[in-house]
């Protein structure tokens, strides 16, 4: 009995402590749980938190967002499934892990499809971007917005990559997407798809030689500590996407849905500013950390090697048309 009493007292004080620590959360009628693999302070995490603030203000506290950063809810592929089931409300992920499921997402994931980040913005901010967002609806998800992820380049623990031939026989981790496996194979290297969270130890123990990513991820993941050679080949400019579960969406009023869509769109310019600043900051940090950076390589052989990859993936009329329209976009 005494034991039960003290347990009740303990629970009561724990509940009190939670209330005292989180008064803001109490103001919200409904808090949407959003997943992100990146740590607190990373631009994607901050952008969704910013969206949450807009949503809370605009709905008078009816809707809020809590970002579960640092892969607290799991690795991207698993959290995508949970978002489809409605266990997780929202998810900020790369388009890469959607490639095998949603063919439209393969188009902006094609190597060297975008000439620059500006070109990517022009495409994704227009009708093609809307078509890709709409394609999520057949997979129990609603696509809300695209975020920046800069350009991805190869890094490894072995030696500097000055030319495509230096990649020969090396083992690189890629996101869980067949397209990226074929991309690496076409460059003469071997691809190992694996979750982001396993990359650091896999490089450290020599299971793989390296991986590929943008400056902020190379920095925040600590991969630069174990893979000291970074070559700016910039093979991918693949955007991030913000999605909400169709189950969650179906339970919202029309008004709330509009508020969610608008807040997501309105977080994009803010995200782009955060991204640009973070990209420059991470690059400077990597240089300071003594990473060996190879710049100015001839990308032509890399681009030419992608022809069979395009032939394998751009097969339907719909995707062919998208690629043609992207190439025609300024
Ligand atoms: C990052 C991206 C993450 C994740 C990661 C990866 O650039 O922001 O969402 O996809 O790359 O390589 O798995």
Residue 85, domain CATH: 3.40.190.170
Which residues, in sequence order, are CB contacts of 122 under 8 Å at separation 6+?
A: 329, 330
Report if residue 40 sits inside a domain: yes
pTM, two decimal places: 0.92
Report if residue 314 sits inside a domain: yes
The pLDDT, as a whole number, for residue 26 is 53
For residue 91 and ligand 1, the question of a CB distance below 6 A is answered with no
Residues 129, 233 within the same domain: no
Residues 202, 247 within the same domain: no
Report if residue 22 sits inside a domain: no
The pLDDT, as a whole number, for residue 3 is 44
Report if residue 14 sits inside a domain: no
Report if residue 216 sits inside a domain: yes
Residues 251, 207 within the same domain: no
- What is the distance, to the nearest Å, from the Cα of residue 205 to the centroid of all Cα atoms in its chain? 25
Please check whether residue 323 is in contact with residue 107, taking contact to mean a CB–CB distance below 8 angstroms: yes
For residue 213 and ligand 1, the question of a CB distance below 6 A is answered with yes
> How many whole angstroms from 196 Cα to the centroid of ligand 1?
7
* CB atoms near residue 3 (< 10 Å): 7
> How many whole angstroms from 221 Cα to the centroid of ligand 1?
10
| Ligand 1 atom nearest residue 173's Cα | 12
SS3 118: helix
| Ligand 1 atom nearest residue 216's Cα | 7
Residues 169, 253 within the same domain: no
> How many whole angstroms from 212 Cα to the centroid of ligand 1?
9
* CA–CA gap between residue 76 and residue 91 (Å, rounded): 9
The pLDDT, as a whole number, for residue 27 is 76
Distances in whole angstroms, Cα of residue 38 to Cα of each of 15, 138, 203, 222: 29, 27, 19, 12
Sign for the CA dihedral angle at 219, 277, 154, 77 comes to: positive
Residues 53, 182 within the same domain: no
| Lookup: tokens for 64 | 């809020």
* CA–CA gap between residue 192 and residue 270 (Å, rounded): 34
Residues 167, 231 within the same domain: yes
For residue 153 and ligand 1, the question of a CB distance below 6 A is answered with no
For residue 219 and ligand 1, the question of a CB distance below 6 A is answered with no
For residue 177 and ligand 1, the question of a CB distance below 6 A is answered with no
Residues 210, 312 within the same domain: yes
**Residue-level pLDDT, tens digit, the chain, 330 residues:** 344 444 444 444 444 444 444 444 457 999 999 999 999 999 999 999 999 999 999 999 999 999 999 999 999 999 999 999 999 999 999 999 999 999 999 999 999 999 999 999 999 999 999 999 999 999 999 999 999 999 999 999 999 999 999 999 999 999 999 999 999 999 999 999 999 999 999 999 999 999 999 999 999 999 999 999 999 999 999 999 999 999 999 999 999 999 999 999 999 999 999 999 999 999 999 999 999 999 999 999 999 999 999 999 999 999 999 999 999 999
Judging by DSSP bridges, how do beta strands 90-94 and 30-35 pair with one another? parallel
User: Domain residues for 39?
Assistant: 30-149+238-287
């Amino acid at each position: 009995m005494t034991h039960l009493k003290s347990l009740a007292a303990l629970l009561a004080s724990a509940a009190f402590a939670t209330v005292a620590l989180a008064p803001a959360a109490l103001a919200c009628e409904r808090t949407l749980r959003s997943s992100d693999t990146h740590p607190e302070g990373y631009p994607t995490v901050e952008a969704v938190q910013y969206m949450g603030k807009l949503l809370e203000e605009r709905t008078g506290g009816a809707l809020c967002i809590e970002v579960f950063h640092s892969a607290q809810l799991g690795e991207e592929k698993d959290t995508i499934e949970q978002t489809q089931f409605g266990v997780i409300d929202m998810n900020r992920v790369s388009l890469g892990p959607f490639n095998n499921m949603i063919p439209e997402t393969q188009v902006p994931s094609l190597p060297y499809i975008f000439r620059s980040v500006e070109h990517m913005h022009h495409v994704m901010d227009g009708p093609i971007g809307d078509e890709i967002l709409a394609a999520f609806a057949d997979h129990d998800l609603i696509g809300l917005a695209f975020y920046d992820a800069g350009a991805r380049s190869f890094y490894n623990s072995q030696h500097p990559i000055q030319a495509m031939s230096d990649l020969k026989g090396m083992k690189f981790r890629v996101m869980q997407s067949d397209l990226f496996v074929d991309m690496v194979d076409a460059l003469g290297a071997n691809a190992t798809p694996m979750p982001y969270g396993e990359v650091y130890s896999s490089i450290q123990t020599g299971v793989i030689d390296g991986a590929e990513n943008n400056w902020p991820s190379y920095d925040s993941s600590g991969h630069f500590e174990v893979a000291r050679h970074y070559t700016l080949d910039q093979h991918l400019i693949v955007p991030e996407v913000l999605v909400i579960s169709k189950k969650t969406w179906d339970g919202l009023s029309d008004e709330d849905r509009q508020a969610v869509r608008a807040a997501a769109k309105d977080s994009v310019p803010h995200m782009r500013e955060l991204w640009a600043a973070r990209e420059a900051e991470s690059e400077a940090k990597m240089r300071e950390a003594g990473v060996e950076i190879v710049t100015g390589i001839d990308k032509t052989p890399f681009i030419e090697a992608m022809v069979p990859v395009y032939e394998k993936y751009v097969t339907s009329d719909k995707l062919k048309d998208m690629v043609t329209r992207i190439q025609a976009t300024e």
